[in-house]
Structure 1
């Protein structure tokens, strides 16, 4: 019996030693959609982003890779949208943000696992040192469009009700993280550093969200944000509770729709407009 116990202790010791000494890396053979990371930096009131991803999808596995460089004026940052995308049931969703500017530009940023070319995606592997963390920094036509038009997922979009100062701080926190991760890669962890925790930590909900079960069941992230008064403000007469708002916030693409230059305006045309004074 003692030999069996000693063996288990030894195995756990070896695993623990590997876990704390195994470094994340940027020099692996990545899947094509994660092969080229973005870089971002601030110059006064202007943010420069290199390698904004803008793939064109014929199908999930057949696409035309493309990237472009862009600049974004912090003085024109006027909205931040929370996007949740469901591919199965209601418990799990992918959650990310899109930043909108008064000049019509949008930049979507998604915290994801950086998958290697030789491995399929595994939810279980996200609990261990298997995926580096990656910021997919993309055009909405890519990051949202692949979900609404190519994969046919259920996609919802909500306006975040945060002050201009928090809005700017949130955006710049992503800018800093995107830049830092190029030289200092980090591990993705499904429990402690995932798409939901990364957003909420940056939005200033640090202490409240960590005790909420909806951090793990990411399909309920928008409901959690609603309870924290982070959505809207929406007309309470039209949307008296989260269920009403949720039903109205789904992006519905008409038959035969194509992803074109007006995609960002088209997906918002039928969504609930925020009403009343924003957060100050």
Structure 2
């Protein structure tokens, strides 16, 4: 019995060391200084320490065990201490499409947004940047649409929320990674402080077109059933989140702070008791979740709603933002 417990304990410790080696190696691989060689060298040192500790678990010899254990523990403390020094920042060389941060203010029902993105996209790499100041009257807020943009199969989609006003204007909020110039999105990197968090406000002719057009993603636009006070609160929640990021930047996280989980947190503050569901993480299945929760038109089958929601392949949007929003909703 005692021998079996000892072996079981060694197995558990070995598994923890394997997990430690993997997580520490990825953290160093994504964030360590020194370029490719520096990252690789430090990750290799960490792997050697983990292997030594793993060997000590199974080998006899008190001296070896003690030295290997101390070496690993010292390395672990240094690794944890270094990790805590990595802080988010708003002061980096950013990619053009996230170069400016959204911020704004509210005076009664009138909201002023600074740095609303309204790019002219000819391709994903050929565009004319334009950042604008816009005012919206929340008393004229008439609709909320959820846009889902699929690029990697049915389970994963980027979530955007579009607010419509009685004058035909729309503004889209999108929680995104704030890429540095030359960076590419990485789901794994999102676990290891690779990206800061950003809230983008944009015209539909910008942010929906670039995804459905130049980037070739499949974009679906679902009208969401939401009472007017809740629509207003959600709009202001986006604004408050954007303003807070200016004061205190945050890291994006693939699971806990992404385009869908932050929206869920905002909506749950408005609708207490909204259940947590795996489809919050597997955001491609959000329509099913919203349909069950009464957020979509229950008078139609979900398959019909999905077919109607697909905005299709888009031609160049032109300069008229209101006309673009009307055209993508015509069918």
1:151 to 212, 215, 224: 215
- Is it true that 1:248 corresponds to 2:308 in the alignment? yes
- Is it true that 1:44 corresponds to 2:104 in the alignment? no
1:162 to 204, 223, 226: 226
2:225–2:294: 8 Å Cα contact kept in structure 1?
yes
- Is it true that 1:259 corresponds to 2:317 in the alignment? yes
| Distance in 2 between residues matched to 1:117 and 1:7, nearest whole Å | 38
Q: TM-score, normalised by structure 2?
A: 0.75
| Cα-to-partner distance string for 1:26-58 (whole Å, 9 max, x where unaligned) | 001111111111211101110001111011111
Q: TM-score, normalised by structure 1?
A: 0.87
Segments of structure 2 that go 5 or more residues without pairing to the other structure are 1-55, 57-64
| Distance in 2 between residues matched to 1:96 and 1:47, nearest whole Å | 20
1:224 to 286, 289, 293: 289
Q: In the alignment, what sits opposite 1:184?
A: 248
Query: Structure 1 residue 118: deviation in Å?
Result: 3.7
| Distance in 2 between residues matched to 1:19 and 1:222, nearest whole Å | 37
The residue matched to 2:260 in structure 1 has which SS?
A: helix
Q: In the alignment, what sits opposite 1:275?
A: none
1:133–1:188: 8 Å Cα contact kept in structure 2?
yes
Query: Structure 1 residue 8: deviation in Å?
Result: 4.0
| Distance in 2 between residues matched to 1:10 and 1:218, nearest whole Å | 40
Count of residues in Structure 1 that have an aligned counterpart in Structure 2? 262
| Distance in 1 between residues matched to 2:188 and 2:275, nearest whole Å | 23
Query: Structure 1 residue 196: deviation in Å?
Result: 0.5
| Distance in 2 between residues matched to 1:265 and 1:44, nearest whole Å | 28
- Is it true that 1:214 corresponds to 2:285 in the alignment? no
| Cα-to-partner distance string for 1:52-71 (whole Å, 9 max, x where unaligned) | 10111111111111111110
CA RMSD of aligned residues (A): 1.8
| Distance in 2 between residues matched to 1:206 and 1:125, nearest whole Å | 32
Correspondences of 1:1-280 after superposition (within 5 Å): 1=56, 2=65, 3-204=67-268, 208-210=274-276, 212-231=277-296, 233-234=297-298, 236=299, 239-240=300-301, 242-253=302-313, 257-260=315-318, 261=320, 262-270=323-331
1:114–1:132: 8 Å Cα contact kept in structure 2?
yes
